[in-house]
Amino acid sequence: MKIGLNATCLNDRPSGARQRFVGIYTEIFKRMREDEFVIYEPSDCSISRWFNDFENVSYRQTGLSSQSRFQKALRGLRYWAKTLKDERLDIFEGFHLPAVKSPSGQTLLTIHDIRPLMEDRGWKERTLYINALKRSLELSDHVITVSQSMRTQFLEHYPDAEISVIYNGIDIEPYNSITHQDLCLAREKFDLPEEFLLAVGHFEKRKNYIRLIEALARLHERGRKAYLVGNDSNDLITVKQKIDVLGLSGHVTIFSGLTDHMVRCIYKLCTLFVFPSAYEGFGIPILEAMAAERPMVISDIPVFQEITQGQSTYFDQDNPESISNAIDEVLMSTEERERLVQYGNERVHDFNFKNLAIDLEKLYKSL
């Protein structure tokens, strides 16, 4: 088979989509050595740097920027029409909207979530998204999404769509290879206390940091310190203002621009991981906390229940009191923390990239 991967939506900015792409396709390229892969790169990122040299993988520079959806869609009309006609692919997989229909073989579309339909957005943006999604589903022979919860959401809006679920994954080896010296250096570098709470995720409204900060204000008198790790996605100023208004500047610290290694070290050092998101297609930080062998308290949303099989400690993400109570409950129970860590140690292996690559290979061959 000759398989094309439209990776023009990806770049060097940390994201779940990038982590999934590198993790699964590293294993796919190893498994499907007799098949040919073509990766179409954006103009602002060299994706070939993410992979070892594979004889069955080649790269094409498209001239399409990962940053501009409008430019990518407009300039892509001419580019894809000529390129896909010449390539004669058996499968063409895209990872963003709008989907591009391959004139040969099967068109596959991977979508992580449909948040513009679930969030309170303006009618114009919502209408544009609905039209783009509907058209993309019509152009695609098959859709991949990242959880059963997402598949259910898709089918509620588009009951005729052909949808498979292939989970996101994680490589636990980088966590296992962290040394005591690494942890000491991280603690010193960031002046981390012996006990602290941790939340990880880009600063955007759906991550629900505001409710978490309100919950932390309730824990202020007990000396709970928290660290929020992530990059700005248009909500960082609001988060900082909330911290200041509630007088928590000495108790809640924000870190941005950290390396993956440093983030892993902070995971390993935290006392408790807190994930307050109001909406996720999956929730990779849950896997990261499991890989770091940390207990966690998380939002009571369907996808988090799915990932943790109802075995975690949950809170009402809209209720700061519920969040603070869940934090206290776990912090005050050594037995509960040990239970959560043991469960995570077992569950995290279900998200091994090698196993997920087997599922993707089966899907490719079925198409």
Whether pLDDT at 18 is above 70: yes
Please state the rounded mean pLDDT for residues 35-44: 96
Query: What is the band of 70 on the pLDDT scale with cuts at 50, 70, 90?
Result: low
| pLDDT of 263 above 90 | yes
- How far apart CA 328 and CA 288 sit, in angstroms, is 22
Q: What is the pLDDT of residue 310?
A: 97
Task: Confirm or reject CATH 3.40.50.2000 for domain 173-350, answering yes or no.
Answer: yes
Taking only the tens place, the pLDDT of each residue in 280-318 is: 999 999 999 999 999 999 999 999 999 999 999 999 999
More confident residue, 171 or 98: 171
CATH class of the domain defined by 2-169+352-366: alpha beta
Which DSSP helix (H) or strand (E) runs through 110? strand 106-110
pLDDT at 57 over 90: yes
pLDDT reading at 122 higher than 80: no
Q: What is the mean pLDDT of residues 172-194?
A: 97
Q: Letter for the amino acid at 29?
A: F
Q: Work out the mean pLDDT of the chain and round it to a whole number.
A: 94
Domains 2-169+352-366 and 173-350 share a fold: yes
Task: Give this prediction's pTM.
Answer: 0.94
User: What φ, ψ does residue 71 adopt, rounded to 5°?
Assistant: -60, -40
pLDDT at 118 over 80: no
Q: Which residues lie closer than 8 Å to 231 by C-beta, 6 or more apart? A: 13, 14, 202, 203, 256, 257
d(CA 304, CA 53): 36
Residue 324: is its pLDDT beyond 80? yes
Going from N- to C-terminal start, the domains of the chain cover 2-169+352-366, 173-350
pLDDT band at 124 (very low <50, low <70, confident <90, very high): confident
